[in-house]
Amino acid sequence: VHLFESGGGLVRPGGSLRLSCAASGFTFSDYAMTWVRQAPGKGLEWVSSIGGSGVITFYADSVRGRFTISRDNSKNTVYLQMDSLRADDTAVYYCAKVFAIGYCFGGTCYGPPDYWGQGTLVTVSS
Residue 44 lies near other proteins (rule: CB under 8 A): yes
Examine residue 36 and tell whether it contacts other proteins (CB under 8 A): yes
Side chain identity at 5, as an amino acid letter?
E
- Grouping H, G, I as helix, E, B as strand and the rest as coil, residue 13 is coil
Q: Could you say whether residue 67 binds other proteins (CB under 8 A)? A: no
Q: Which is nearer to other proteins, 10 or 104 (CB)?
A: 104
The interface region with other proteins, picked from 6-14, 20-28, 70-78, 97-105 by CB under 8 A, is 97-105
CB within 8 Å of 102: residues ≥ 6 apart: 109, 110, 111
Residue 26 makes contact with other proteins by CB under 8 A: no
The 3-state secondary structure of 57-75 reads EEECCCCECCEEEEEECCC
Rounded to a whole number of angstroms, the minimum distance from the CB of residue 12 to other proteins is 27
